[in-house]
Structure 1
Amino acid sequence: MTAFPKSLRAVTVAALSLACIAAHATATDELRDFVRNVKSGKSTFTQTVLSPNGKQKVSNGSFAFERPNRFRFVYEKPYAQTVVGDGTKVWIYDPDLNQASSRKTGDALANTPAALIVSNDIDRVFTLADQPSKDGLDWVLATPKQAEGTVRALKVGFRNHALAQLEIDDSFGQKSMIVFSAFEANAKLPADTFVFVPPKGADVAEQ
């Protein structure tokens, strides 16, 4: 039998090694790769909040982010609300009441779902653990390392390496699910995406 050339054998061994590494990649690895390689993104979303008494509230909107710590949630239905993190402050604006409030990014992001997506150092904030794959998604459980804040646990799901879903359990007994649609990784976003200026006449409260 003709022996493989040394160069071909080396390529074959390298390919098999990469296949083994890929086979052993975990959902936690996928989340860390997402943080390392996806610098920005945008999508639409549907958020479902289930209260302890069984009542359910569904809202829809759009989402965009850019590392580090810049993001924009625009809730459109059933009630309008805009949440903007500009890297320094996090703004929440209610257009129906024409009210805006802000907090420093460090205080506002601590232990939140947004921190899991937009932070550059998730291992500093969360303890990560792989979860069983379910509904075609690869799942990671993220538990806040500090007990302060309202979030008890987060689960993030990926489908084909794309951000697909977040599940949140909070200290009020609520369970929330955010489903992302048509997620676009490393999207080119307008320069003013993460700029918020309170509208004229708005009631503004800053901390």
Structure 2
Amino acid sequence: MNNFQSMQAGFTQILSDSNGNKMQQTQGIMALSRPGKFHWEITNPTPQLLVADGHYLWIYDKSLSQATKQTLSGMRTSNPASLLSGSTDTIQKRFDVKKLNNKQNMTGFQLQPKMHDDIVQWIQLYFQQGQLKEMRIADNLGQLSTFRFSNVKLNQNLNPALFRFKPPRGVDVISE
């Protein structure tokens, strides 16, 4: 994960229950810039936007006309966007990292939380030719979130406006 400062991609997320049954599938686009900046936009089926500027995280739900603002320091590193936009030092402080067997020409790593009160059991990251292709997150409820990334672009100059959010007029803002 040291080989990129920025990343853009499309993604598909599949949430499965403890029996492997698909509960939900979402699609969207993401962009991140290290450290701590990301734009994670779910476009289908229900639009939602997460934007972090390095200090604050905004979660905007257009259907509810509601935006939530919280400090990044209070956010869990196990959140996919914050994990990917964080530093490798932070990852090594919070997780034990081990290499996995190769899967379909992808190199894998498993991240095991060092703190047992974390909601995440483990995170698996799979890379192909230095690009993140898949991320799997197992939680303590037995659910598995699988993220598959497409059209990955690394180390591009990203528009700084991607990492700023201003709530539209009439939107309820909740600060945490």
CA contact (8 A) 2:51 2:164 kept: yes
3-state DSSP class of the match of 2:26? strand
* 1:85-138 deviations in Å (ceiling 9; x for gaps): 111111111001111112210221333333331111221121100011112211
Q: Choose the corresponding residue for 1:69, options 36, 39, 45.
A: 36
CA contact (8 A) 1:46 1:179 kept: yes
Indicate the percent of aligned positions where both proteins have the same amino acid.
Answer: 30
Q: Mapping of 1:33-44 within 5 angstroms?
A: 34-35=1-2, 37-44=3-10
CA contact (8 A) 1:72 1:83 kept: yes
Residue 102 of structure 2 is aligned to residue 138 of structure 1: no
Question: Whose radius of gyration is greater, 1 or 2?
Answer: 1
Higher helix share: 1
3-state DSSP class of the match of 1:115? helix
Unaligned runs of 5+ in 1: 1-33
Residue 175 of structure 2 is aligned to residue 201 of structure 1: no
TM superposition shift of 1:76: 0.4
TM superposition shift of 1:148: 3.3
3-state DSSP class of the match of 1:133? strand
Q: TM-score, normalised on structure 1? A: 0.79
Q: TM-score, normalised on structure 2? A: 0.92
CA contact (8 A) 1:113 1:154 kept: no
TM superposition shift of 1:173: 1.7
**Counterpart position of 2:54:** 87
Q: Mapping of 1:1-207 within 5 angstroms?
A: 34-35=1-2, 37-52=3-18, 54-120=21-87, 121=89, 122-207=91-176
Higher relative contact order (CA 8 A, sep 6+): 2
CA contact (8 A) 2:38 2:82 kept: no
**Aligned Cα RMSD in Å?**
1.4
Please tell me the residue identity of whatever aligns with 1:107.
G
Where has structure 1 moved over 3 Å in runs of 4 or more?
A: none
Q: How many residues get paired? A: 173
